[in-house]
Chains A and B, each alone.
Chain A
Amino acid sequence: MRHLLSTKDLSRDDAILILDTAAQMAATQEREVRKLPTLRGKTVVNLFFEDSTRTRISFEAAAKRLSADVINFSAKGSSVSKGESLKDTALTLQAMGADAVVVRHWASGAAYQLAHGGWLHGSVLNAGDGTHQHPTQSLLDAFTIRKHLVTDPMGNDLAGLTVAIVGDVLHSRVARSNVHLLHTLGAKVVLVAPATLVPVGVEPWPCDVVHTLDEAIESYDIDALMMLRVQRERMTGGGFFPSPNEYTRLFGLDGDRLRRLPDHAIVMHPGPMNRGLEISAEAADSPRSVIVEQVANGVAVRMAALYLLLAGEEGAQ
């Protein structure tokens, strides 16, 4: 692996290698000394064109736990706000000797362009590009599901499990990444969203689509329920649903719906949550919610991704 751009590119073996490596990384994070010398002398640049707290901090923590040097670059207050292009920014990072660039961009395809533009020598990790992909988020979701619901997690996939992804699928790179990754790992994926928040061209995706949360709970044996954030900042113009109250009534996860799920089912959310809109406080804080654990797992998964991309021979594929 040279870049991590999309979960579509990952084979089942690649995905399982990342999850297994993440499990070993997670084990090191329970020690007294959590820092490893593995990536000493490597430089990781966090290139963020879009606001993000948890993903940036998570990547920063992951790189630092592996002893890499971290440079944070956010578009606000940089030359980008003076009109610098992605290419010139990339050439600058290349000149500074970046071994890996973690990029978050508002434009779908930005990570691909950065990786294949011939501007950078190092690896590119997509940390979210527009409404396209967010591979490390779906890898940490898969890692969390595997840890909770697969008896012997090491070396195994998610065969036989059903994962429902609920809410604003249209604007969600998390949903797109998860549909492909979970399918590759053998899980069944059910998208639950109002017709207005299902992307055009969803038909070939390897998943089912239903239009109310109650229908999903009744028709499927759900093992993991992934609530998506309603991305109000991307809903310019409105018209996606009549009112927040109606959205909550049809797609929100509350205590009642939580109790109708199978007893072993877990509740996930990529964060940040709109409490009271897509998820009630009762559901978010219930013992079946693994939302806080997802954040911790995120660091382990990103350590694994950085290790697998950066360790190994210079120039090896």
Chain B
Amino acid sequence: MTGTIMGAADISRALTRIAHEIVERNDGAADVVLMGIPTRGLPIAHRLAARIAEIEPGYDAEHACGALDITMYRDDLFKNPTRTIGTTSVPDAGIDDAVVVLVDDVFHTGRTIRAALDAIRDLGRPRAVQLAALVDRGHRELPIRADFVGKNIPTARSERVDVRLEEIDGEDAVILRKGE
């Protein structure tokens, strides 16, 4: 099955559910820091923070989001053309003893998350690290699993999953394409 898998309403509902699950799992959101993995993990992290703030009054969505660029931690740096390094930013309070929720758009091989875990280690020592992804498309190459998933999409390895977001692409959609 190819074509649009999730529309704007589906994405919105999935994120609302994930926000509730994060709050439920952590008995509130007091220590929760959302670290978005660029590019599309970032706006998703901001949306989740805004939803958590709606559920938990007093949650400071502005200061609970960060960006985690994993370029320098990748294990395939010498197998691809040189990548541009993105920005990493940590909330002012730091991540020591916080619950860090890594946020990415598509969860695939697990290698990005492996790199993210290494990157987190250099930034501090959170109490726990959890993973939220809008789409889980399977094909794991490492023993890593997600805590919060928007939608599981069975895919063939050759297929592509494109997540499009309002903030970057002007529309909300998850599209499955045939590989070449």
Contacts and interface: CB of A to CB of B under 8 A. Distances in A.
Contacts of B87: 24, 27
Nearest to A21: B85
**By DSSP majority rule, is chain B's interface helix, strand, loop, or mixed?**
loop
Contacts of B73: 36-38
A311 B87 CA distance: 18
A31 interface: yes
A200 interface: no
Contact of B72 (A32, A36, A316): A36
Interface string A271-309: 000000000000000000000000000000000000110
Interface string B48-82: 00000000000000000000010011000111111
A28 interface: yes
B88 A28 contact: yes
Interface stretch (B22-30, B117-125, B166-174): B117-125
A27 B85 CA distance: 11
Contacts of A66: 72
B84 interface: yes
Contacts of A316: 81-82
A24 B85 contact: yes
A36 B82 contact: no
Which of B69, B79, B81, B82 has the most CB atoms of chain A within a 10 A radius of its CB? B82
Contacts of A32: 122-124
Given A31-B122, A37-B73, A314 B78 contact: yes
A312 B80 contact: yes
A35 B84 CA distance: 19
B86 interface: yes
A96 interface: no
B72 A38 contact: yes
Contacts of A25: 85
B114 to A, nearest CB: 12
A32 B80 CA distance: 29
A38 B77 contact: yes
A311 B124 contact: no
Contact of A21 (B84, B88, B123): B84
Contact of A33 (B77, B86, B88, B122): B122
A24 B67 CA distance: 13
Which of B80, B118, B121, B122 has the most CB atoms of chain A within a 10 A radius of its CB? B122
A312 B78 contact: yes
A314 to B, nearest CB: 6
Nearest to B94: A32
Contacts of B82: 307-308, 311-312, 316
Contacts of B69: 24
A314 B123 CA distance: 30
Interface string B74-118: 000111111111111000000000000000000000000000001
Given A21-B84, A32-B123, 4 more contacts: A24-B86, A33-B122, A38-B72, A312-B80
Interface of A: 17, 20-21, 24-25, 27-28, 31-33, 35-38, 66, 307-308, 311-314, 316
17 contacts: A17-B84, A24-B87, A28-B88, A31-B122, A32-B123, A32-B124, A33-B122, A35-B122, A36-B73, A36-B122, A37-B72, A37-B73, A307-B82, A307-B85, A308-B82, A313-B81, A316-B82
Which 9 pairs across A and B sit closest by C-beta, in order of nearness? A312-B82, A38-B72, A33-B122, A24-B85, A311-B77, A36-B72, A311-B82, A312-B81, A21-B85
